[in-house]
A and B are shown apart, each in its own frame.
Chain A
Amino acid sequence: MLAQLLQFLLAGLTVGAIYALVALGFAIIHNASHVINFAQGEFVMIGGMATVSLANSGLPLPLAIPIAVLAAAAVGVVLEKFAVEPARGASVVTLIIITIGASILLRGLATLVWDKKLHALPPFSGDQPIELAGATILPQSLWVLGVTLGIVLLLGWFFGRTLTGKAMLATAHNPLAAQLCGVNVRFVLMLSFGLSAALGAIAGILIAPITLTSWDVGVMLGLKGFAAAILGGLGSGTGAVVGGILLGIAESLGAGYISSAYKDAMAFVIILAVLFFMPSGLFGSKSAERV
């Protein structure tokens, strides 16, 4: 009984860590530009697919992974420069449609550059399950958890201690004031898209050995990441991480104990339930309307 619960928790934690990474990407871009980037899931796809194809062409993983992450970051910057930047000042819905267009475009490109098949990435360090109090955990899951933890700490340091990170936070708070203080707002925007794309790509690479990857893997992961970001409260880094983990665990428990067919629905039932009582998510700031 207890072992089974632990098994579900471990599985949920692994998926939740991935959701958290995607959600962080949503939060960073939203903070910098108030855009919800519906192409966020495509970065996850690009990360996984690029690593697979680089590895297949003979590149060792330690080399293939950074190249794939950089490639995704480059796509993120290009997306900002040529699709989001020209539409600044447009309505929220217009920007949503633009990023959805970008998501379709990127998926189309993926089918051209790669194919429409499922691909597997070899685990980073074997697939021998590790026993843990009656439950088992894959080494790859440990990679997922470890890397996510590292990234969260790194981001905490970046936003709390470095000048660039603080400049990004200042821009999120008040772009005009930040600009007056000498922050290059356009650079911050590009940086936020590059950073989000890199985070998404890392998530995609980490999860690829567990769930396989393909040209359309980003759709559901993107939506779950958005759900996690909203659950935590848009714009809150802590919220994104907590939202992601909670969503992953709830999904895993729901699938295990209630119904596996409704696994994907679970995340959305939870988010609706939370929003009905906390309309700004768990950690979202309640914005008082000034008139």
Chain B
Amino acid sequence: MNWRTPRTGGLALLAAVIALLPLALVNNYWYEVAILIGINAIVCVGLNLLIGYAGQISLGHAGFFGLGAYGSAILSVRYGWPPAAALAATTAGVALLALVVGRPILKLKGHYLAMATLGMGIIISIVIVTEDRLTGGPDGMSVPAFTLPGLTLAGERVWYWITGAALLAAVWIALNLIDSPAGRALRALHGSEVGAQVSGIDATRAKVGVFVISAVFASFAGSMTAHYSGFITPGKVSFFHSIELVTMVVFGGMASTFGAVIGAAMLTLLPQLLTILKEYEMVVFGGVMIATMIFFPRGLLPSLMLALGRKRK
């Protein structure tokens, strides 16, 4: 095993951070923040496969996150399914939905694709807000704790380790995919779509494939959030959350799996830190977004790596 490759070295570093972080988490509030970071990071790692590697934008992934959360919630609350079965069925359902809508949507390019994914996300969000008999509408709904036969998963500490393990798995899967024939096909599409096609890559199939994977990551994270927090509201399904997710990916660095994790961590922490600014929070947050993108257009991690590489030379 070569520990110096980004793959193994990065995974080891991430595992070490997850293992040691609890030493710095002084109370339950910071555990909650850490779990939130982990959940956002899982979504971003998947979204980065789509945006960063395959070069296809989505402004609607909060929709998949929301479907995951509400799917799990509705199946377990309204229909009495065991949470594990609800989770499995929801994930499969979202994968199927992404497969069906992905085909026509991913034939679109550029701003048209942005519009279509945005529209898809908004439609999902409006349906969830409107169908209040199932979803509780704008007030949200409560969700039971995640149970397995003879085991109930509850409490911040337990969920911290679950989220940490899930994030490691998500990163591992993403790294594996990128460094494989399928992953190369995705990157090739980003580099030159026509060049990829004449090399035998079915562009639509590859795009839909990665769209489904990113939707599954988002949906799974949504289901986790529902069971962990015990209560969900439509806020996490909104257009704003979609934008927030894309911003995390771009912030950390497109086409960098660890960048996506860092972006998720930074942008989850930033609002927590900015609350002390009270009414100035939005202004500063918007300003930081603009400044970061102007000074680090490739995102934090790749810009940092580039600077380090230059220094070394």
Contacts and interface: CB of A to CB of B under 8 A. Distances in A.
A contacts B: CB pair < 8 Å: yes
A143 interface: no
A123 interface: no
A22 interface: no
A275 B116 contact: yes
A135 B75 CA distance: 47
B152 to A, nearest CB: 37
Given A97-B293, A105-B290, A261-B130, A234 B116 contact: no
B282 A291 contact: no
A102 B116 contact: no
A99 to B, nearest CB: 9
Contacts of A105: 282-283, 285-287, 289-290
B21 interface: no
Contacts of B290: 83, 98, 101-102, 105
- The binding surface of chain A is classed by DSSP as helix
Contacts of B127: 265
A96 interface: yes
Interface residues of A, number: 46
A108 B293 contact: no
B250 A93 contact: yes
A285 interface: no
For A91, A219, A234, the residue with the greatest tally of chain B CB atoms inside 10 Å of its CB is: A91
Contacts of B293: 87, 90, 94, 97-98, 101
B95 interface: no
A206 B189 CA distance: 45
B281 A223 contact: no
Interface in A234-277: 234, 261-262, 264-265, 268-269, 271-272, 275-276
Interface string A21-37: 00000000010000010
A106 B297 contact: no
Nearest to A289: B194
A100 B114 contact: no
Given A83-B294, A230-B112, A104 B286 contact: yes
Given A97-B246, A111-B282, A279-B108, A86 B294 contact: yes
Interface string B222-261: 0000000000000000010001001100110010000000
B120 interface: yes
A280 interface: yes
Nearest to A226: B115
Nearest to B243: A100
Contact of A291 (B194, B281, B283): B194
Contacts of A94: 250, 293, 297
For A86, A98, A219, the residue with the greatest tally of chain B CB atoms inside 10 Å of its CB is: A98
B283 A230 contact: no
